[in-house]
A and B are shown apart, each in its own frame.
Chain A
Amino acid sequence: MAVYLFYFLVFPGLLFAAVTGGFLSWFDRKITARVQFRKGPPLLQPFYDFFKLLLVKETILPKQGSPVVFLMAPVFAVFGATMAGVFILLPLFNITTGFRGDLLVIFYLLTIPSFSYVLGAVASGNPLASVGASREMKLILSYELTFFLVIAGIIVKASQNFDLYSIIQLQKDGAPFLGSISGILLFIAGIFCIQAKLGLVPFDMAEAETELSEGSFIEYSGPPYALIKLTKYIMLLILPCFLVALLMKGFNLRGINILWAFLKVAGVVLLLTLIRNTNPRIKIRQAISFFMIWMNLIAIAAIVLAFFGL
């Protein structure tokens, strides 16, 4: 029991994921600044933001709407992200979770933060937040199928293994899945799904700053908003880690290989940041057709190729 609590709260759960995710968030902002020829924020900036919101600012509850759901939604979001983080990071650090089919559990747990954002936005009773919530909902409906097809493609490639640990072991024995045509196609579809899950720029219509003034999060202030920031940090770590586990062999934690493991995650985050910085925000209709038609086609093509062993 104590060891599970340790997994959930300290390593590789809440504390580890939050701290590493915070540094990745700084990396993201710094790269954004360098792309725009700016200097960028200091190293500990994400933690200043988090502690400022948590300790200094007051919480304002909505007059209309439901305060309980409004306050509970960020807690659910942190819980879902941490739980998914435990299931993703344990196999990556060579600790087996010991049950088959954890890939599907991860898939469901990863949707909890997005659904919590929708719940919180609707409970706040703000018209702009409800527009943001409806966009977030449509975005979830469009990318979830693609994300599921990506996972299905991995399962086909890993000869019907539903277990993240054995998928990583399979790649360690043979070649990483990224080294084949179907692997590359799955990587492309996966990257765009992650971009949409994180709400980064081509798909940030739910929290459009200039258009909806933060959309879903418009009414949040103080500690609840700090928890939402925390969820974003954790998601920024675990989603690239998930992709690394599925397609890039996972981590090898002996000697200098730790650096290589770190570079893999940082490389995926760098790719996400560059996509974010070189694209405008698209409309929700464009996002739906992008995922429903093009990304699904790519994912299905990858599954067919994987079926024939390419």
Chain B
Amino acid sequence: MDESYCNCCYCSCIFWLITVKTVGFKSFCFKKSLWVFHFGGASCNNCDIEILDCLTPRYDLERFGILLVGSVRHADVLLVNGSINRRDKERLLEIYNQAAKPVLVVAIGACGCTGGIFAEGNTFAGPVDKIIPVDAYIPGCPPKPEAIIAGIMALVKSK
């Protein structure tokens, strides 16, 4: 996770022992294996493309144990992007209720965090945090993949 942290066998063991001592086994395992589920609201697709970028060889989120899963039942992190309009609101609530707890929610992009240019719109149903509790905000239009990785890592460290 740190810049200085090397991924070899020996360092893994040392790192493992230190972290398990300090944060406890359960939350350590949770942090090391976050499976993300992607919820796209009424998005312009830029944030979706940047989220997919994170999983490509250049950024490779799997080295932190992060996987994109197909079913929300397996998800640990809900990535929400795009402006949430009135129809999306019901879907978002349903998806959130279907997820196995504990689940973290990350709002990605200007639309997800604040509403962006759609904030005054007629069909706009509020930013994500008015509908479900949000754990991290990653602003940007669209945010860079580096920003998304930094946001998720900050979330992992704070929890």
Flag A18-45 by CB within 8 Å of B: 1 or 0 each.
Answer: 0000000000010001001111111111
Is there a chain B Cβ closer than 8 Å to A251's Cβ? no
Nearest CB in chain B: distance from A213 CB, A = 3
- B residues contacting A by CB (< 8 A) are 7, 9, 12, 16, 25-27, 29-30, 32-33, 57, 60, 62-63, 65, 69-71, 73-74, 76, 98, 100-102
Q: Are B74 and A225 in contact (CB under 8 A)?
A: yes
What would 13 more interface pairs be, CB under 8 Å, given A41-B65, A60-B100, A212-B70?
A: A38-B63, A39-B7, A39-B63, A40-B63, A55-B25, A55-B26, A56-B29, A56-B102, A57-B76, A57-B102, A217-B74, A218-B71, A220-B74
Residues on B with beta carbons closer than 8 Å to the beta carbon of A44: 12, 16, 32
Nearest CB in chain B: distance from A215 CB, A = 9
- A159-209 contacts to B, CB under 8 A, are 209
Q: Are B12 and A43 in contact (CB under 8 A)?
A: yes
Interface-central residue, A49, A55, A57, A212, by most chain B CB under 10 Å: A57
Q: Are A214 and B71 in contact (CB under 8 A)?
A: yes
Residues on A with beta carbons closer than 8 Å to the beta carbon of B102: 56-58
Q: Are B60 and A33 in contact (CB under 8 A)?
A: yes
Q: Are A42 and B101 in contact (CB under 8 A)?
A: no
Is there a chain B Cβ closer than 8 Å to A281's Cβ? no
Q: Which of B32, B57, B70 lies in contact with A209, CB distance below 8 A?
A: B70
Residues on A with beta carbons closer than 8 Å to the beta carbon of B9: 43
Q: Are A48 and B71 in contact (CB under 8 A)?
A: no
A214 and B30 in contact, given A33-B60, A51-B25, A58-B101 (Cβ under 8 angstroms) = no
Please count the residue pairs between chain A and chain B whose beta carbons lie under 8 angstroms apart in the complex.
Answer: 92
Q: Are A58 and B100 in contact (CB under 8 A)?
A: yes
Q: Are B69 and A29 in contact (CB under 8 A)?
A: no
Closest A residue by C-beta to B66: A41
- A residues contacting B by CB (< 8 A) are 29, 33, 36-45, 47-49, 51-52, 55-60, 209-210, 212-214, 217-222, 225
Alpha-carbon separation in the docked complex, A57 to B100 (Å): 6
Residues on B with beta carbons closer than 8 Å to the beta carbon of A45: 32-33, 65
Alpha-carbon separation in the docked complex, A53 to B12 (Å): 21
Interface-central residue, B27, B30, B62, B102, by most chain A CB under 10 Å: B62
Alpha-carbon separation in the docked complex, A69 to B70 (Å): 23
Residues on A with beta carbons closer than 8 Å to the beta carbon of B57: 36-38
Q: Are A48 and B100 in contact (CB under 8 A)?
A: no
Residues on B with beta carbons closer than 8 Å to the beta carbon of A60: 73, 98, 100
10 A-B pairs with CB atoms under 8 Å apart are: A39-B63, A42-B7, A42-B12, A57-B76, A57-B102, A58-B101, A214-B70, A214-B74, A222-B100, A225-B73
Q: Which of B27, B60, B70, B100 lies in contact with A39, CB distance below 8 A?
A: B60
Residues on A with beta carbons closer than 8 Å to the beta carbon of B65: 41-42, 45, 48-49
Alpha-carbon separation in the docked complex, A252 to B43 (Å): 59
Residues on B with beta carbons closer than 8 Å to the beta carbon of A47: 29
Interface-central residue, A41, A43, A58, by most chain B CB under 10 Å: A41
Alpha-carbon separation in the docked complex, A44 to B76 (Å): 19
Residues on A with beta carbons closer than 8 Å to the beta carbon of B74: 214, 217, 220-221, 225
A38 and B60 in contact, given A43-B12, A48-B32, A218-B73 (Cβ under 8 angstroms) = yes
Residues on A with beta carbons closer than 8 Å to the beta carbon of B26: 51, 55-56
Alpha-carbon separation in the docked complex, A176 to B32 (Å): 43
Alpha-carbon separation in the docked complex, A212 to B70 (Å): 8
Q: Are B100 and A210 in contact (CB under 8 A)?
A: no
Closest B residue by C-beta to A38: B60
